[in-house]
Amino acid sequence: MSKLFQPLYLPNGTVIPNRIAKAAMEENLADADHAPGPVLTRLYRSWAEGGAGLIITGNVMVDRHALTGPAGVVLEDDAHLPRFEAWAAACRSQGAQAWLQINHPGRQLMASMGQPALGPSAIPVNIPGLSKLFAQPVALEAGQIEQLIQRYLNTALLAERAGFSGVQIHAAHGYLFSQFLSPLSNRRSDDWGGSLENRARILLRTVEAVRAQVAPQFSVAVKLNSADFQRGGFEAGDAAEVVRMLGSRGVDLVELSGGSYESPAMQGQTRDGSTLAREAYFLEFAERIAEVASMPIMVTGGVRRRAVAERAVEQGVAMVGMATALAIEPSLPARWRAGEDIAVQPVVVSWKNKALAAAATQAVMKKQLLLLGRGKPTHAGTSPLLALLGSQIKLRLQARRYRRWVASKG
């Protein structure tokens, strides 16, 4: 049997039935209570039936005042826990492990959300022509950082109660923990800034808090940037050192990705002038870091062919994460296992403005998620321009509903 379809044994004894993971994608498909409703549950059942061994949810927010986008899922109390139980059950219905990705946007908070943005330092998102779309951040006080750690712990404990088999703490893609790790966005001079050890402190403390209170068989994973892909930012050597730090803290798996809103390397585009291959574009970083890691390493970014996935696991990467390919063809793992040598063609938006191109690509992918969630076939040939325009209109309406909802909650 191909190594791609052999089980993976995690440090805590958990077994993932194969080496293909459905990596996280932001869906913006929460119900009116910002909980998982029938659309999300149906979407995730399609991935479970498609044969992925590990299913990681799109980011679930630890604070209702801080969402990466409108119609995002929030888990901060047990008010709607039965809906999370149904979501977890759908993910695990065919034997896959199911991990809830937990996150906070930090400074990457859209101004339309009407909430204050918090970050390690008061440094705003800088995207030429689009910076005004983001709220001006305020630097977190030390007490607020401690409260945030408790929020992550609270959400992890609720995820365990709901029946998820693990959590993935998001420290990539320019969100809060990634902002702490990067010297470009963390200019603090206290215990939470300066040296890499200080910049990693909030992540390490959160991992320790979660690992100490969940059951041993409940998996604790981290999503980490291999690099920011911005000059002067978080680099591959930093990533390797953080992975080493995580090794002594009971982390069961580290997923490597890269980039941020400012440099969307996770979509194959960067801002520092480097070029990324169209497929498996973080594999080289992952192979290097796997050599020094004490836990399994997962790589996500651009994989869409079985041969590339197999090469990754043969060269030391334990898991292959797939996102956009499974948004277009959710049954790809099962079809590969059955011997079909099929590939998913990438969605390529070749616009000059990389930020707009990234937004259009994301809009096309979100359209596919909505179709799957409604039980309909996907259509990757959707016009990027029409998808982007439709997405922007929808986001405005969703943001308006979100502002009313959060105001009603206090």
What are 318-353's pLDDT values in tens digits? Answer: 999 999 999 999 999 999 999 998 989 888 898 988
Given a cut of 70, whether residue 266 has pLDDT beyond it is no
What is the mean predicted confidence (pLDDT) over 136-140? Answer: 97
Exposure string for 235-260, b = 16+ CB within 10 A, e = fewer: bbebbbbbbebbeebbbbbbbbbbbb
Cβ–Cβ under 8 Å, residues 36 and 79: no
Q: How much is the pLDDT for 267?
A: 46
Cβ–Cβ under 8 Å, residues 49 and 92: no
Three-state DSSP string of 58-94 = CCEECCCCCCCCCCCEECCCCCCHHHHHHHHHHHHCC
Give the alpha-carbon dihedral of 247, 248, 253, 257, to 10 degrees: -50
Q: How far is CA 270 from CA 25, 127, 172, 227, in A?
A: 19, 12, 15, 11
Domains of the chain listed by start with CATH number: 3-344 (3.20.20.70)
Between 208-212, 243-247, 269-273, the lowest mean confidence (pLDDT) is in 269-273
Phi first, then psi: give them for residue 253, nearest 5 degrees. Answer: -165, 145
Between 31-35, 212-216, 219-223, 276-280, the lowest mean confidence (pLDDT) is in 276-280
Closest CA to 188 of 197, 178, 198: 198
Share of the chain above pLDDT 70, in %: 92
Between 25-34, 136-145, 270-279, 382-391, the lowest mean confidence (pLDDT) is in 270-279
What is the mean predicted confidence (pLDDT) over 360-387? Answer: 94
**Predicted model pTM:** 0.94
Q: How much is the pLDDT for 350?
A: 87
Cβ–Cβ under 8 Å, residues 304 and 343: yes
Given a cut of 50, whether residue 60 has pLDDT beyond it is yes
